[in-house]
Structure 1
Amino acid sequence: MPLDRFSRLFHTVRYLKPRQIGWRLYYRLMRRRVRHHALAPPGPVSQRQWAGAWSAPAWMPPCRVGTDEFMFLGERGYLRSAVDWNHPGKSKLWLYNLHYLDDLCSQEAEARFAVHRVLVQRWIDENPPLAGNGWEPYPLSLRLVNLVKWLAGPTWRGGEPVPGPWLESLARQAQALSAQREYHILANHLFANGKALTFAGAFLQGEDAERWLGQGLAILDAELLEQFLDDGGHFERSPMYHATLLWDLADLIRLAECSGLPALEVRAATWRETLARGLAWLDMMTHPDGEIGFFNDAAFGIGPTLTDLKRYAEMLGINTSTPGVVMRKHEGLDASFTVRHAQTSGYVSLDWEQGGKALLDLAPVGPDYQPGHAHADTLSFELSLFGQRVLANSGISQYGEDSERHRQRATLAHNTVTVDGQNSSEVWAGFRVARRARPGAVSIDAREGALTVGGSHDGYRRLPGRVVHYRQWRFQEGELILRDRLEGRFSRAEARFHCHPAVTLALQDARHGELILPGGERLAIAIEGGEARSETTTWHPRFGESQSNHCLVVAFTAPRCTTSFCWA
């Protein structure tokens, strides 16, 4: 094994929890035993009587876009035969989405009830136990929740009982998930397992159903404390997954209301408090256009928006304006800034009048033992002005392990500094991180008519020159001054500023230029300690989507480089 590959592997594995390694070995070495437990026929089950029918908002648009035609991740595909559930020409993630059966709970799903009955029957008939992608634990988890919501909805409760074979299939799926809980992965995957087992155990009645309910609640009790930080943020630091897990919490609260089960009702107050704090964190990380900032794995359309979540929370009677992060309003400056600092998760946001917002990343890449959705984006930032995104990290368009996935996770795809062509954190494969950047202390200071935020990271100390990157953002009336300082030896360093596709970059010379916004507003650019050039790059707002955009690249000519953007 080459030395660099051994190093990456060592610095990845050393952060894992012992139980992750133990469970991974168990699933690999005891496959026959796991399979035996997963295939064990569940005992008799029946449908539990609930206090009311399931009803909740739907945020996801329809996935079925034609006769036997589906759209996932920006890509169309067909379900014409049993083979298509595991079609070799489709990516694993696309097939996962097919098996989720999300269309059952998408917008205006009631109008497609007859089609959905056929779809569910097809899934049962064409996916025998443990055969294919649909029986892996993550798609099992999402499908179980969708099936329970659909079967517990007003259409079924209107009269016709749920067919016995469907209840049996639901029980078989719950048993298969119970035998494959993702303790080797943890994080959002395990939370999804816990939610699914809770839904299945709450919907079905019987000895096995009680076991699944107990397993699900035990996972949720532990993971809620582990995964949601004191400031309300989810510990993977992905606004996309954060929003997804907030929807999971809202679903659990609604499940407690609909089922009337005491084991859920006693936990509902904690779930409500966590959801309220999480909404405040998401509000902080949302741009004036109503969509999330792109930090770590993040794209539009995979999770609900802040508006979607607030609508759900309001239906549940939750106060959506509860502060969840430290908030200060700095008056007496040339401009008035509202500053929110999520100290535990590591982000700072600044809001000001006329649709101005900045999101600053001073965060760790994620939980040490599961940084699978992390990017090498420490000390990156995003900027909106006049309600329009101006500087934006590149987002994601795909998963997998190819070069494009690696490029989208790399430091050069974000609004921060690369040193000697290296990433600040060693992202590799599709979901791995070896040595990672550690952020330093955050400073927030208001004086001399400006608001200044500062931070640092040591991600480049692993290089021969042992470089530490210091960055300072200085906001004042109509201007952002960005000061980067590198301590240590380096041959080449570059700061990148990725423009939103609607923004035009025009350079007059190596130290001056301007950004032109769609509404005609202009930002003057001035550089000291560096030389600028323009590159054409790509922005990825959604899976399967790529848009051409401009990138301002500033090559350092000294250890200190200042880039200012003036829109006064």
Structure 2
Amino acid sequence: MLSRYSRLFHTVRYLKPGQIGWRLYYRLLRGRVSRQALAPLGPVARRRWADAWSAPAWMPSALLGEGKAGESKTGEREPGEWAFDFLGERGELGSAEDWNHPGKSKLWLYNLHYLDELCAQGAEERDARHRALVARWIDENPPLAGNGWEPYALSLRLVNLVKWLSGKAGQAGEPIPAAWVASLARQTQALSAQREYHILANHLFANGKALTFAGAFLQGEDAERWLRQGLAILDAEIPEQFLADGGHFERSPMYHATLMWDLADLIQLAECSGLPALEGRALAWRETLVRGLAWLEMMSHPDGEIGFFNDAAFGIGPALADVTGYAEQLGVVPEGEAASLITHAQSAAVVVRHAKASGYVALEWPEAGKALLDLAPVGPDYQPGHAHADTLSFELSLFGQRVLVNSGISRYGEDAERHRQRSTAAHNTVVVDGENSSEVWAGFRVARRARPGPVGIDTQAEGVTITGSHDGYRRLPGRVVHHREWGFQKGQLVVRDRLEGRFTRAEARFHCHAGVSLALQDPRHGELTLPDGRRLALAIEGGEAHVESASWHPRFGESHPSQCLVVAFAAPACSTAFRWA
């Protein structure tokens, strides 16, 4: 019980006073919030924009089937007219109750309510079905009833509706039904009454974007108020959330990529609407997008996909190529000075980039080799909800193939698997006495957290050495500080770990990609075999190794068996060398 209260104290102590105040407001004065959400609205109409919405789509369609459910020739049940595949799980929208189906996870239902389908790839081919889908949502989701009226779901759906109504639905002489415009206004009013100041971070940014989109699409006194609210949020949150090196302050490459797309959308909105209030901000949005693209490129592997630090998985946000393509369409092309706040260094064999503000280091060498090192805080102190206990972890690609990987995520929620995927043991770093380096708990909470020490970068003719440390284990009786050194030379990486303080047991963990096989000849030597047959030799000093079964989670709903090299410390210092031809 004492531990529970301690953990709660060390979580709440980092919150901003406003977060606590807004949380109390929403809990204790729920009736007042509902009255504000349902307050009478003045006349609303659609604004006349300078141009119709036109932007690329990166998300594949989640809508399955073409007609009523039946049986295929193989005897398997065909998906019904309203069947969807979200997060690797299928479900059908057979009745109004299915919008809030008790057998589906909250996240799956949120995806259903986002209506991302309206702006998915090939959406123009499914316009009739989309019209029917929008009509169903409006008819079957009365105001403030169910998941779809929660602020984050409102935010994503409002943006999708505005894009769709400004593009396909307003063309070909087909007027937008007045009931749809009225529903859009009511949804915006509900969001306005529930802005997520108690959560902040990417949730509040999404609120601001949605209010801006709806306020720019609709016309009237209410619309002007929503537009002012949205822009006020964006004016405050963009400089707060995007660090000097371009990285998003939650330090999740997945969410960073999503917010890059959001910024591109805002720039496109300024161009389509022609509203002076947006056009006047577009230059600053473009500058933030340029810096953010440089950070996203730095944090992507040679395969073009993101590294797995904190909450990260494929398919939730756009890939680097998607965001870059959108930016180019808008005339946003990163220039050499775009990454001026990402420090560069170089030896004969390795190029080093240090995103000092966010705390990551990327190293690249010929033949598509890349390493991403985490020397970062877990996130903003007042909102580390997407943080993992992954300080001083790293990922490695060789010859264009991922070799060492962090866990990734397959689910949200508060269950044991979510906790395991956030744990230190699921990442390529050191576990001391079976504890996490940061106290992650309850799905999206962090109590005491690791603080990284200064980063050292030593470039020499033959290679590069990166050094860092963290104090996450100082809360334990032995007051341990973890020091780590990565030594990169041609054809070799040596990871040296040193623990300052007292401990009973410690182990360095190195998770192999699901396509990599690992074999030990003895407790100090072994080899890794890559998918293309290339081999890496392993050599260990100061410890003994064994192999454990593990898993990798590149997408929600996916779990791939893998192997983990576990090196048990025999002394306070231990090193693991990886050598390749």
TM-score by length of 2: 0.96
How far 1:520 sits from its partner (Å)?
Answer: 1.1
SS at match of 2:537: strand
Which residue pairs with 1:417 in the alignment? 430
Number of residue pairs matched by the alignment:
564
How far 1:448 sits from its partner (Å)?
Answer: 5.6
Residues of 1 paired with 2:535 and 2:143: CA distance?
60
Structure 1 unaligned regions, length at least 5:
none
User: Is the contact between residue 124 and residue 168 of structure 2 (CA under 8 Å) also seen in structure 1?
Assistant: no
Which residue pairs with 2:63 in the alignment? 64
Which residue pairs with 1:89 in the alignment? 103
User: Is the contact between residue 345 and residue 363 of structure 1 (CA under 8 Å) also seen in structure 2?
Assistant: yes
Which residue pairs with 1:28 in the alignment? 27
Structure 1 residue identity aligned to 2:240: E
User: Is the contact between residue 314 and residue 320 of structure 1 (CA under 8 Å) also seen in structure 2?
Assistant: no
How far 1:155 sits from its partner (Å)?
Answer: 4.7
SS at match of 2:351: strand
Structure 1 residue identity aligned to 2:108: W
Structure 2 residue identity aligned to 1:434: A
SS at match of 2:397: strand
Matched, 1:136 2:150: yes
Structure 1 residue identity aligned to 2:515: A
User: Is the contact between residue 169 and residue 175 of structure 2 (CA under 8 Å) also seen in structure 1?
Assistant: no
Render the CA deviation track for 1:241-286: whole Å, top value 9, x for unaligned.
Answer: 0000000000000000000000000000000000010000000000
Matched, 1:232 2:246: yes
Between 35-44 and 494-503, report the one with greater CA deviation. 35-44
How far 1:326 sits from its partner (Å)?
Answer: 2.4
Q: How does 1:81-120 map to 2 (within 5 A)?
A: 81-120=95-134
Render the CA deviation track for 1:316-356: whole Å, top value 9, x for unaligned.
Answer: 0011344324243524x3x2x22110000000000111010
Residues of 2 paired with 1:89 and 1:155: CA distance?
33
User: Is the contact between residue 41 and residue 172 of structure 1 (CA under 8 Å) also seen in structure 2?
Assistant: no
Q: How does 1:288-299 map to 2 (within 5 A)?
A: 288-299=302-313
Residues of 2 paired with 1:305 and 1:311: CA distance?
10
Render the CA deviation track for 1:103-148: whole Å, top value 9, x for unaligned.
Answer: 0000000000000000000000000000000000000000000000
How far 1:156 sits from its partner (Å)?
Answer: 1.5
Structure 2 residue identity aligned to 1:452: T
Structure 2 residue identity aligned to 1:217: L
Matched, 1:202 2:216: yes
User: Is the contact between residue 345 and residue 459 of structure 2 (CA under 8 Å) also seen in structure 1?
Assistant: no
Q: 1:375 aligns with which of 349, 370, 388?
A: 388
Structure 2 residue identity aligned to 1:220: L
How far 1:447 sits from its partner (Å)?
Answer: 2.2
How far 1:160 sits from its partner (Å)?
Answer: 2.1
Residues of 2 paired with 1:341 and 1:307: CA distance?
22
Render the CA deviation track for 1:305-324: whole Å, top value 9, x for unaligned.
Answer: 00000000000001134432
Residues of 1 paired with 2:250 and 2:467: CA distance?
23
Residues of 2 paired with 1:314 and 1:352: CA distance?
27
Render the CA deviation track for 1:367-423: whole Å, top value 9, x for unaligned.
Answer: 000000000000000000000000000100000000000000000000000000000
Matched, 1:557 2:570: yes
Percent identical among aligned pairs is: 76
Residues of 2 paired with 1:116 and 1:428: CA distance?
40
Matched, 1:455 2:468: yes
User: Is the contact between residue 142 and residue 196 of structure 1 (CA under 8 Å) also seen in structure 2?
Assistant: yes
Which residue pairs with 2:358 in the alignment? 345
User: Is the contact between residue 246 and residue 278 of structure 1 (CA under 8 Å) also seen in structure 2?
Assistant: yes
Structure 1 residue identity aligned to 2:435: Q
Residues of 2 paired with 1:545 and 1:40: CA distance?
43
Residues of 2 paired with 1:153 and 1:327: CA distance?
42
Q: 2:524 aligns with which of 505, 511, 515?
A: 511
Moved beyond 4 Å, runs of 4+: none
Which residue pairs with 1:262 in the alignment? 276
Which residue pairs with 2:344 in the alignment? 328
Which residue pairs with 2:135 in the alignment? 121
Q: How does 1:2-21 map to 2 (within 5 A)?
A: 2-21=1-20
Residues of 2 paired with 1:471 and 1:300: CA distance?
28
User: Is the contact between residue 280 and residue 321 of structure 1 (CA under 8 Å) also seen in structure 2?
Assistant: no
User: Is the contact between residue 327 and residue 338 of structure 1 (CA under 8 Å) also seen in structure 2?
Assistant: no
Root mean square deviation of aligned Cα? 0.8
Which residue pairs with 2:260 in the alignment? 246
Residues of 2 paired with 1:85 and 1:65: CA distance?
16
TM-score by length of 1: 0.99
Q: 1:468 aligns with which of 463, 481, 484?
A: 481
Q: How does 1:471-510 map to 2 (within 5 A)?
A: 471-510=484-523
Which residue pairs with 1:181 in the alignment? 195
How far 1:75 sits from its partner (Å)?
Answer: 0.4
SS at match of 1:156: coil
User: Is the contact between residue 473 and residue 482 of structure 1 (CA under 8 Å) also seen in structure 2?
Assistant: yes
User: Is the contact between residue 469 and residue 487 of structure 1 (CA under 8 Å) also seen in structure 2?
Assistant: yes
How far 1:41 sits from its partner (Å)?
Answer: 2.6
Render the CA deviation track for 1:80-104: whole Å, top value 9, x for unaligned.
Answer: 1000000000000000000000000
Structure 1 residue identity aligned to 2:314: F
How far 1:154 sits from its partner (Å)?
Answer: 4.4
SS at match of 1:24: helix
Render the CA deviation track for 1:186-231: whole Å, top value 9, x for unaligned.
Answer: 0000000000000000000000000000000000000001000000
Matched, 1:222 2:221: no
